[in-house]
Amino acid sequence: MERGHLTLILGGEKSGKSDYALRLLARAPGPGLFVATGRALDAGFRRQIQAHRAGRGPGIPVREVDTALPEALADAAGHYGTVLVDSLDFWLFACRRAGDEPGRVAALLAALDGMGPTRVIIVSCEVGLGPVAPTAEVRAFVRSLGALNRQLAQRSARAVLVVAGRALALPED
């Protein structure tokens, strides 16, 4: 993927990164597509997903994926001006749960390389700001997500950290 076509938006839980990404999508070349990666595994998360849906409004087409993010991107390439992926952390968690994280990550990077002129905005949690994770499983997830965020930041024309609803552009080096 050309560096000019990828924007990475990082932030903590409930930092405002999704709202910021939606504002970028509204200003980006269209048509736009929203790719939702979250899957409701409990009632609280189901309510959060419903609130996100209500906040987006009906004018944005939505594709919901579990581990099929690379395929969704490949399908969108050339058909949409901009694709917003929210959120990479949910997708990576689903890939870990399915037991195919390395294969799915490789497929994601390949799909991003094949996007052509389609712009991509990716939202992801920056998990490295919190306390040390209490279990080996959580620490492994944090390391994997951190590594993937770094790979995407290297490919991005723009990386942004959102804190308390405020966006801070991150320098390249």
Q: Provide the residue-wise pLDDT of the chain in tens; the chain has 173 residues.
A: 555 699 999 999 889 999 999 999 999 988 999 999 966 565 555 566 566 566 656 678 999 998 999 999 999 999 999 999 999 999 999 999 999 999 999 999 999 999 999 999 999 999 877 777 789 998 999 999 999 999 999 999 999 999 999 999 999 86
Which domains, and CATH codes, for the chain? Answer: 3-170 (3.40.50.300)
Residue 121, beta-bridge partner list: 7, 84
Alpha helices in the chain (DSSP H): 17-27, 43-56, 69-76, 88-98, 101-113, 136-155
- C-alpha dihedral (50, 55, 61, 62), degrees to nearest 10: -30
Catalytic residues: 52
Give the three-state DSSP class for 1. coil
Burial class (CB in 10 A: 0-12, 13-18, 19+), 146: middle
